[in-house]
Structure 1
Amino acid sequence: MRQVAEFLVRLALAEDIGPGDITTKGAIPASLKARAVIRAKEAGIIAGLPVAKAVFASLDKKIRFVPKIKDGAPVKPGTIVAELSGPARGILTGERTALNFLQHLSGIATLTNRYVKKLRSAKSRAIILDTRKTIPGLRQLEKYAVRLGGAANHRLGLHDAFLIKDNHIKLAGGITPAIQAIKKEYRLKKGPEVEVKNLAEAREAIAAGASRLLLDNMDIKILRQAVKLCRRAKVASEASGGINLGNLRAVATSGADYISIGALTHSAPALDINLKII
């Protein structure tokens, strides 16, 4: 993840600075030193401190960035997250880029933690998963934030896990042909995960050798029946589609092994964090 973060930091700084930070260069002497604090303005879970540190290190190695808490730690309004000291120009130029990363990733970790806590309160053993619904280029960082929030990662991309979805099924000629084709192509003994939308599709996928079913957008009654089918067949079950904090408890009562939630990354509001010169 470090290499990805460093690349993204360089890209973000190039986007923001362009040919130069004209305001800072004009108003702030190159020799001026400064101290600053990064402070949380609302409660949440902090994520992205190493990325924020990399922002300032990329601008000026003389800037000292000292985290006051660990990544993944809870904060309340007023908590000092990090302290900085060094060349004032570098601190000002890197301020917005560092905060953009921190606020976005902390927002993901915070929202994820809310889902995890709600699931625990329901005494469910299900594991909350993220999805591939991420901002292009930021997936590794966003999935890192999900882990800090207490959930787990689904596949990182198209390369590390099979998942037959509705369009695969349509083009392959059905659920069974799609499963058979993948098993043949990769010489698999264990079948892939398959997205299903009803009980008939669930039965077909199980019969064809699927190892896990993604139970997509099912109402609670059908979802419970589908989970029972999976349990009898010793196939893992994953509830997905339209899941939010309002219906999470009901979904958890289905007994699904996993609950995947796209909102963790595509709808997390930024956590309010600022940087102030002291």
Structure 2
Amino acid sequence: MYTLTTQELEELLREDVPYADLTSELLEIRGKPGRMRYRAREEGVLAGAEVVASLARILGLDPRFVLPAGREILPGKTVLEVEGDAYELHRLWRVGLGVLGFSSGVATGTRKLVLAARKGAPDVPVLATRKALPGTRKLAALAVRAGGGWPHRLGLSESVLVFPQHLPFADDPQPEALVRKLRAIGRDKRILVEVSDVEEAIRYLEAGADGVQFEKVEPEALRHDLPRLKESYPCAVFLAAGGITPETAAAYASTGVDGLVTSWMFTRPPLDFSVEMERA
């Protein structure tokens, strides 16, 4: 689930060096032994170093030191050291920098959300949406886990979540007919529905939905309504989504929801790293 295949890793390298590293070829550095270090330039949460180490191995390089994902890092901290052919070090250089920066930015944002949510309720999970840039979803999932969160949905194939955008195309959009059709075909799948208020939630729960995802419902309304909803539907799942940031996470977590669904971590800038190279 959280592993990049060899083909996916090779594609990351091929995108940056589709034919050859022209500068390195002209400088004739191939075959010269070298060492490369990635160091943090700013404080954050590390993610992606293991992926860069896997890229290094594909290139025949030797990762001598790899800091595990999830570690908090300070400026100047070495997170990865690689040795080998200088030509291959240069092939890895920028790709590795991009993976580290993107992944650690997401992990750092996720950690901020997790810590903020714990102030409202210590056990409420932070669930990342699918809004990561297409092509980066596996890296994003790894980064979210490094930051202490969980992917909400890795893709459309794994779960049933009905959005308002589905309803214009349903044969019968009424809650009872909709849930009945979904249940008849997807008998082994849990059915969740996005709703905008408690009355809509009750209609779907009465129809047999397994849970609801409240979209942009204020924490005060959830705090008022969730106790009676949980009493009436003790097996249902209740999620909060929309507008969840480090500033609002504690308030939403304290309402009694079962999870916070957010894409805020994907809006964070990449974490900055530097690269040093030397002869080995």
Q: TM-score under structure 1 normalisation? A: 0.91
Give 1:2 deviation, angstroms: 7.3
Give 1:68 deviation, angstroms: 4.1
- Tell me the secondary structure at the aligned position of residue 151 of structure 2: coil
Give 1:75 deviation, angstroms: 0.9
- After superposing the two structures, state which structure 1 stretch, 113-122 or 26-35, moved more: 26-35
Partner of 1:181: 181
Give 1:30 deviation, angstroms: 1.9
| Gapped regions of structure 2 (runs ≥ 5) | none
User: What aligned pairs does 1:6-45 form with structure 2 within 5 A after superposition?
Assistant: 6-45=6-45
For the residues of structure 1 that align with 2:31 and 2:4, how far apart are their CA atoms? 32
Q: Cα deviation per residue 1:242-274 (whole Å; 9 max; x = unaligned)?
A: 21112112212212111111122x312211112
For the residues of structure 1 that align with 2:270 and 2:230, how far apart are their CA atoms? 39
Partner of 1:144: 142
Give 1:5 deviation, angstroms: 4.3
Cα-Cα RMSD: 1.9
Partner of 1:199: 198
User: What aligned pairs does 1:67-78 form with structure 2 within 5 A after superposition?
Assistant: 67-78=65-76
Partner of 2:46: 46
| Gapped regions of structure 1 (runs ≥ 5) | none
- How many pairs were matched up? 274
For the residues of structure 1 that align with 2:227 and 2:168, how far apart are their CA atoms? 26
> Does the alignment pair 1:227 with 2:226?
yes
User: What aligned pairs does 1:148-163 form with structure 2 within 5 A after superposition?
Assistant: 148-163=146-161
Give 1:31 deviation, angstroms: 2.8
- Tell me the secondary structure at the aligned position of residue 178 of structure 2: helix
For the residues of structure 1 that align with 2:214 and 2:2, how far apart are their CA atoms? 35
For the residues of structure 1 that align with 2:63 and 2:255, how far apart are their CA atoms? 47
For the residues of structure 1 that align with 2:70 and 2:220, how far apart are their CA atoms? 36
> Does the alignment pair 1:242 with 2:243?
yes
Distance change >3 Å, CA 244–CA 219, structure 1 → 2: same
Give 1:227 deviation, angstroms: 2.2
User: What aligned pairs does 1:101-180 form with structure 2 within 5 A after superposition?
Assistant: 101-172=99-170, 173-180=173-180
For the residues of structure 2 that align with 1:208 and 1:221, how far apart are their CA atoms? 26
Residue type of the partner of 2:53?
A: K
2:109, 2:268 within 8 Å by CA — same for their partners in 1?
yes
